[in-house]
A and B are shown apart, each in its own frame.
Chain A
Amino acid sequence: MAGFDKRVQTYVQALDGLRDGMTVISGGFGLCGIPENLIDRIRLMGVKDLTVVSNNCGVDGFGLGRLLEGRQIKKMIASYVGENGLFEKQLLCGELEVELIPQGSLAEKIRAGGAGIPAFYTATGVGTLVAVGKEERMFKDRRYILEPSITADFAIVKGWKADWYGNVIYRNTAQNFNPLVATAGHITVVEVEEIVSPGELEPSSIHTPGIYVDRLIQGSFEKRIEKLTTRAS
């Protein structure tokens, strides 16, 4: 039974083993569904020269923007990095390297990485800068490029609820990249809002089965909103 208990008690334990130069892949879309406490812990650890894979890079002072503050990111792999002044500054002065990948290719690279598929062909990016240097092949009269998959030393994930076994469910659009990211880490760390007793989650409602999860911790979350938009009441 204890062999399946993925819970750790502290954020120190949750990220034990993370060292300079490692690759970290993070779930989240904008500021929605980001593992905010795990990111803050990485900031505190002060590890440097990280390669970070995430759809976006947070904002100034929150999310992955905190790791930019600590000058801890050497290379950022993302699809969109628009909302971050510090990112811009570090990019322009050459402190930071960036690789931009179409969002669907990024998702599929992570999914494939977690599924043991080393690369796949896609039509996305054919005839654009994304295709430069990549193998091209025709299938049924259409051109495709070969995209290598992505895995990481650490995967950091934000879930809603999980049981001790590391079975995770996500809430609303906070799901986004999280279930794919959970599959692609050598060590996958999941933080959730609530850890429940085994048996409380319906097996068929699980998004991430516990087999992918190495460490599980319960945290409290700010859940900052990037663009608050409401209807006229």
Chain B
Amino acid sequence: MALTRGEMAQRAARELRDGYYVNLGIGIPTLVANYIPKGIDVMLQSENGLLGMGPFPMPGAVDADMINAGKQTVTARVGASIFSSAESFAMIRGGHIDLTVLGAFEVDVEGNIASWMIPGKLIKGMGGAMDLVAGAENILVLMTHFSREGESKLLPRCSLPLTGAGCVRRILTDLAYLEIHDRSFVLMEHAPGVSVQEIIAKTSGRLSIPDRVHEMKFSR
């Protein structure tokens, strides 16, 4: 079975380490905040100028001056700081964020990522995504293995306009966890009940299969 969105977030959360400053993108990456492992403290960065994002406010405590990068009302946790957009992107572009988790339309074996623009469809803008992928050493792409049209999103070469060139090394899909080495996707883990054969069939870019591929484990 392919992973649910919650299971993808749960698996991604295992990449968190105690003391990490983390930026979570919009969509499935946001859910990672729900699965932070016990005994680990991480500080979530929101690029509109908040380091130490807390949970959504209680209904009676909503503050219009307190939002996240997805424009949702949020709170600040103990230890949080608030600053300008220039300061926020100095953190991002200066390589101070320990882990960035974001979604994508396509990733290729060169580590290129396309996530912001589909020609012919409405162009809404890249927001902070280009800064995040250019600035982070440690990027985890979280996306479905297949598009809704049934096309592989792991390609020999991205077909859509890029968000960043040569910046992705690690990808978690609903079928597998993969790393990029020597211009090849390397299959590290498969989802429970998903065969290696299925992953081979659904990966369009070059895929390497190590001798041992682990099965992801989930506590239910």
Per a CB cutoff under 8 Å, which of B48, B89, B92 touches A29? Answer: B48
**Known contacts being A124-B93, A175-B82, is A229 close to B128, with CB within 8 Å?**
no
Task: Describe A's contact surface by its main secondary structure.
Answer: loop
Asked if A108 CB lies within 8 Å of chain B CBs, one says yes
Q: Give complex CA distance A178, B84 in Å.
A: 7
Question: B117: nearest residue on chain A (CB-CB)?
Answer: A129
Question: B69: nearest residue on chain A (CB-CB)?
Answer: A29
Q: Which residues of B are found within 8 Å of A96, using beta-carbon distances?
A: none
Provide the B161-204 mask, 1 if CB < 8 A to any CB of A, else 0: 11111100000000000000000000000000000000000000
Provide the B39-79 mask, 1 if CB < 8 A to any CB of A, else 0: 00000001111100001111100111111111111101000
Is A225's CB under 8 angstroms from B62's CB?
yes
Question: B50: nearest residue on chain A (CB-CB)?
Answer: A173
Asked if B124 CB lies within 8 Å of chain A CBs, one says yes
**Known contacts being A176-B49, A228-B62, A231-B55, is A123 close to B86, with CB within 8 Å?**
no
Is A230's CB under 8 angstroms from B58's CB?
yes
Is B93's CB under 8 angstroms from A225's CB?
no
Q: Which residues of B are found within 8 Å of A123, using beta-carbon distances?
A: 93, 134-135
Question: A92: nearest residue on chain B (CB-CB)?
Answer: B122
Q: Which residues of A are found within 8 Å of B134, using beta-carbon distances?
A: 122-126
Interface size on B, residues (CB 8 A): 53
Is B162's CB under 8 angstroms from A128's CB?
yes
Asked if A61 CB lies within 8 Å of chain B CBs, one says no
Asked if B123 CB lies within 8 Å of chain A CBs, one says yes
Is B72's CB under 8 angstroms from A32's CB?
no
- Count CB-based A-B contacts (< 8 Å): 168
Is A172's CB under 8 angstroms from B59's CB?
no
**Known contacts being A32-B48, A123-B134, A230-B57, is A180 close to B93, with CB within 8 Å?**
no
Per a CB cutoff under 8 Å, which of B89, B126, B166 touches A108? Answer: B89
Most buried by B among A160, A175, A180, A227: A175
- Segment with Cβ contacts to B, from A8-16, A18-26, A45-53, A74-82: A74-82
Is B48's CB under 8 angstroms from A176's CB?
yes
Question: B89: nearest residue on chain A (CB-CB)?
Answer: A104
Q: Which residues of A are found within 8 Å of B65, using beta-carbon distances?
A: 32-33, 160, 171-174, 223
Asked if A130 CB lies within 8 Å of chain B CBs, one says yes
Is A108's CB under 8 angstroms from B86's CB?
yes
Q: Give complex CA distance A49, B125 in Å.
A: 22
Provide the B121-163 mask, 1 if CB < 8 A to any CB of A, else 0: 0111111111100110000000000000000000000000111
Is B164's CB under 8 angstroms from A127's CB?
yes
Per a CB cutoff under 8 Å, which of B55, B71, B93, B135 touches A227? Answer: B71
Additional A-B contacts beyond A104-B93, A173-B49 (13; CB < 8 A): A80-B127, A103-B131, A104-B47, A104-B92, A105-B131, A107-B84, A107-B86, A107-B88, A124-B134, A128-B165, A173-B67, A179-B86, A227-B70
**Chain B contacts to A: CB under 8 angstroms:** 46-50, 55-59, 62-74, 76, 82-86, 88-89, 92-93, 112, 117, 122-131, 134-135, 161-166
**Chain A contacts to B: CB under 8 angstroms:** 29-33, 55, 78-82, 88, 100, 102-105, 107-108, 110-111, 122-130, 160, 171-180, 207, 223-231, 233
